[in-house]
Structure 1
Amino acid sequence: MVVLNKIYTRTGDSGTTALGNGDRVAKYNARVEAYGTSDELNCFVGVARLEATGETDAALSRIQNDLFDLGADLCRPDMAADKDAEYPPLRLASAQVDRLEAEIDVMNTSLDPLRSFILPGGTALAAHLHVCRTVARRAERLAVLLAEQEEINPAAVKYLNRLSDWFFVAARMSNNGGKDDVLWVPGANR
C-alpha cells in the first residue's frame, strides 16, 4: 500500500531523484527519462478518456493501470536482485503484452486495410489517441536506449511497442471504424 503524508520532500532540490531501490540518480538519467515519459503518456491517456466511452474507456483505464506498472518496473534497476528483495518488485508481464495484441486483433477485424498513410485527426478521441501513439513511441525509444545501457525487463519494450500500435488502431476505430480517417495525399500542396 502506498501512503503519501507529505508531497514535497526537498530531497530532489539538488537535481537528483530516488529510484525504486533507493539509489539516487540525476533527474535526467536514462531510467528517469523512460519512466517519466511513461507517466507523461499516462496523463495523455487520461485526457483521451475524456472523449472515450464504453469498451474504449474501459480499455484505456486498463492501459493507465499498466502504465503505472510499467513505471514501477522501469524505476527499479538491478533485475538480478529481484529474487533477494524483501518485497518482489513489480515487473510488467508478457500477459499484458498479449492482452494488447488480442485487443488490436479484435479491433482490426472490422477495419478496411489502409491504402494510404493517415493524418492524425478526425474525431477528438482519434486525435488524442494519435498523441498517445506518438508519446508511446517516444517512451519506447527511451526504454530501448535505457536497455542499451542497463538490463531492463524485455516485456517493457514489447509493451510500449504494442501500445503504440493499439493507439493507432483505436484511433482508426474512433474515426467511424476508419471510414472518417484523414488520408495523406503525397505532394498535395506542391
Structure 2
Amino acid sequence: MGGLLALSRGIDRTSKFIGRSVAWLILVAVLVSAGNAIIRKVFNASSNMWLELQWYLYGAAFLGAAAYTLCEKEHIRIDILYGQWSRRAQLRIDLLGHLLLLMPFVTLMNWMLWPWILRSLHSGEYSTNSGGLILWPGKMMLGVGFSLLAFQGISEIIKTLAVMRGDLPDDGYQSSEERVSAEAANRIEAASSETTE
C-alpha cells in the first residue's frame, strides 16, 4: 500500500499545482473580456478571436481545476443522507461512487475524446467563425481535463481504501474546509490549555 500511497501523493501534488496555476486564467479571461468590451464600445471594432479566447481561458480554468476540486473534496455532493451515516458507510459510498460512476465516465470520455482531438490537431482545424482561432487547443483542454480527473479518481480510490484499511489517518482525508476548521479548533484548544496552566 505504501507505493500506491506514494503514487496518490504524487497525483495530488500535480492536481494541486495545476489547479492553483489555472486559477489565474480566470483573471486573464476577465481582462480579455473587459478589453474586448471596451474596444467594441469605444472603437466600434471587435473580433471573434477575442470571444473564442475567453472561452478557451474559461475552459482551461474549469477543466484544469476539476481534478484539484476533487482532491480538495470541494466537489458537489448531496449530503442529506450522507452526513447522517457512519464514517465507514461514507467511505464505502465514496469508494463505490468513484469506482462505479466517476471512473467509467472519465474512461469513456477519454476513449471518445482523444481520437477527436488528434484528428483536429493533425488537420489544423480552424473555427468556422470569421477571425476565429484554431480549434485543437480548446479540444485538447477537454482531453487533458478528463485525463487529470481520471488520475485524481485513481488517487481518491487509493486514499479511500487506505483509510478503510487503517493505513491512512482519517483526518488526512478531509476537505480543505474541514481541515481549516479542525486546525482552528486545535489552535483554540491549545490556547485555552495554555491559559489554564
TM-score by length of 1: 0.28
Q: Which has the higher strand share?
A: 1
Q: Which has the higher helix share?
A: 2
Look at both structures and tell me which one has the larger radius of gyration over its CA atoms.
Answer: 2
TM-score by length of 2: 0.27
Structure scoring higher RCO (CA < 8 A, sep ≥ 6) equals 2
